[in-house]
């Protein structure tokens, strides 16, 4: 059995989410997450203040990923999965990197999500940042996970940190497993050549994440992460102008998809005052094309007008009850399978260990 990510073209999303009961929707989908960053909040300040996107990567995220070990990944993933569930998100498409703990890392994430009761699609972000041996180890981890029947994509960090050989190997591996590549594309100006370099490789089942500075059309689903893009000051992606299916991700800033929808709408509106919430809502609904299993899940919300125009201007809507695959995994806002207090305590211990490692890093 190989990875079973479905062809996004074959699944019809419902035209409306409120199938009769206005409190209830299917499970929300986060189409791009980094569960490994759940413990990053409150981390030690970087050695100096980053002045652009590339320095944000170098001074913050590429230091953090080097400090990860399998225990930290486990508690980070459990906390991220718990917070997703509490936000009514039942399916996460994750993109992972831990250069000093590659082998088995995707299993750790998949197990952590299964324990909490959240669906996950895993990918290891291959890169040549740590030499060609590091890239090979990343490819092997994707292959191992998919070969064992895991649900996933083949991850690639981004074209600008990969050789052409690595990009071709990742595309080939994904095709062998009948799945797509999950890759950051032209998120910042450091990756302007991504369109040219990926043009002959990309396929309809690829997840093209960000596409802020993408200079041409590529096949695949574009995953828009408006809050992260603003936080990194990379510019506005203008996803409404793309011909692709567009889905919404958080890029690791939680998994509260109603929040991300609200940000996506208001960022769209800032760019175009004629924009309506229906467009950002269609991006949220596109998540069900990528993760149709979430349509079988139900979320009962604290609010009875679960429609784009109401939700665009209503904050603080909470998930009260969530069922995944017929099982109630959140009741009265609390998880049924795991102890939220224990996960938060263990995650805090892991975060303290992570922060010490970061402080000791040259
Ligand atoms: Zn990302």
CATH code, domain carrying 115: 3.20.20.140
Distance from the alpha carbon of residue 251 to the mean position of ligand 1, in angstroms: 4
Distance from the alpha carbon of residue 161 to the mean position of ligand 1, in angstroms: 14
Distance from the alpha carbon of residue 38 to the mean position of ligand 1, in angstroms: 13
Number of residues that this document lists for the chain: 362
At 21, the pLDDT band (50, 70, 90 cuts) reads low
240: which DSSP letter?
G
At 123, the pLDDT band (50, 70, 90 cuts) reads very high
Distance from the alpha carbon of residue 342 to the mean position of ligand 1, in angstroms: 28
Domain contains 128: yes
Distance from the alpha carbon of residue 223 to the mean position of ligand 1, in angstroms: 10
Mean of pLDDT values over 98-125:
98
Stated as kind and residue range, the H or E segment containing 208 is strand 207-210
Domain contains 8: no
Distance from the alpha carbon of residue 326 to the mean position of ligand 1, in angstroms: 31
DSSP class per residue in 266-289: HHHHHH-TT--HHHHHHHHHHHHH
- Find tokens 């981004």 and name the residue: 158
What is residue 362's predicted lDDT score, i.e. its pLDDT? 83
- Domain of 265? 26-360
Evaluate if residue 239 carries a pLDDT over 80.
yes
Domain contains 237: yes
Domain contains 162: yes
Domain contains 14: no
Distance from the alpha carbon of residue 125 to the mean position of ligand 1, in angstroms: 10
Domain contains 3: no
Distance from the alpha carbon of residue 56 to the mean position of ligand 1, in angstroms: 13
Distance from the alpha carbon of residue 23 to the mean position of ligand 1, in angstroms: 31
Q: Which two tokens stand for residue 66?
A: 């080097």
DSSP class per residue in 117-151: T-EEEB-B-B-STTHHHHHHHHHHHHHHHHHTT--
pTM for the predicted model, two decimal places: 0.94
Pick from 97, 8, 82: which is nearest to 256 by CA? Answer: 82
- The CB density around residue 11, as the number of other CB atoms within 10 Å, is 14
What is residue 150's predicted lDDT score, i.e. its pLDDT? 98
Distance from the alpha carbon of residue 18 to the mean position of ligand 1, in angstroms: 30
| The total number of structural domains that make up the chain | 1
Distance from the alpha carbon of residue 184 to the mean position of ligand 1, in angstroms: 6
Stated as kind and residue range, the H or E segment containing 1 is none
Distance from the alpha carbon of residue 123 to the mean position of ligand 1, in angstroms: 11
Pairwise CA distance, residues 91 & 81, whole Å = 9
- Residues 171-223 have pLDDT tens digits of 999 999 999 999 999 999 999 999 999 999 999 999 999 999 999 999 999 99
- Residues 294-332 have pLDDT tens digits of 999 999 999 999 999 999 999 999 999 999 999 999 999
Distance from the alpha carbon of residue 155 to the mean position of ligand 1, in angstroms: 11
Domain contains 4: no
- Residues 126-172 have pLDDT tens digits of 999 999 999 999 999 999 999 999 999 999 999 999 999 999 999 99
Domain contains 187: yes
């Amino acid at each position: 059995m190989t990875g079973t990510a479905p062809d996004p073209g074959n699944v019809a999303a419902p035209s409306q989410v409120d199938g009769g009961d206005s409190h209830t929707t299917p499970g929300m989908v986060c189409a791009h997450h980094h569960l490994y960053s759940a413990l990053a909040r409150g981390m030690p300040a970087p050695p100096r203040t980053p002045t652009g996107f590339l320095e944000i990567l170098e001074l913050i995220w590429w230091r953090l990923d080097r400090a990860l070990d399998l225990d930290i990944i486990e508690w980070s993933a459990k906390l991220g999965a718990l917070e997703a569930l509490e936000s009514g998100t039942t399916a996460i498409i994750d993109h992972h990197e831990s250069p000093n703990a590659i082998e088995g890392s995707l299993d750790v994430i998949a197990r952590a999500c299964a324990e909490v009761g959240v669906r996950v699609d895993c990918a290891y972000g291959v890169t040549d940042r740590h030499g060609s041996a590091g890239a090979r180890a990343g490819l092997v981890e994707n292959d191992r996970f998919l070969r064992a029947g895991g649900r996933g994509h083949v991850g690639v960090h981004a074209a600008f940190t990969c050789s052409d050989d690595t990009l071709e190997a990742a595309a080939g591996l994904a095709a062998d497993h009948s799945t797509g590549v999950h890759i950051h594309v032209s998120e910042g100006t450091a990756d302007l050549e991504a369109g040219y370099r990926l043009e002959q490789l990309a396929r309809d089942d690829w997840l093209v994440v960000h596409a802020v500075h993408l200079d041409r059309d590529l096949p695949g689903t574009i995953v828009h992460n408006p809050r992260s893009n603003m936080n990194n000051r990379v510019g506005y992606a203008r996803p409404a102008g793309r011909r692709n299916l567009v889905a919404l991700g958080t890029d690791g800033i939680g998994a509260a998809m109603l929040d991300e929808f609200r940000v996506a709408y208001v960022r769209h509106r800032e760019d175009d005052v004629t924009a309506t919430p229906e467009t950002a809502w269609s991006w949220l609904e596109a998540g069900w094309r990528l993760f149709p299993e979430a349509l079988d899940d139900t979320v009962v919300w604290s609010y009875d007008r679960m429609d784009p125009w109401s939700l665009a201007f209503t904050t603080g809507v909470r998930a009260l009850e969530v069922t995944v695959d017929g099982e109630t995994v959140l009741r009265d806002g609390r998880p049924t399978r795991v102890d939220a207090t224990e996960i938060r305590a263990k995650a805090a211990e892991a975060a303290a260990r992570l922060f010490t490692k970061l402080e000791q890093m040259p």
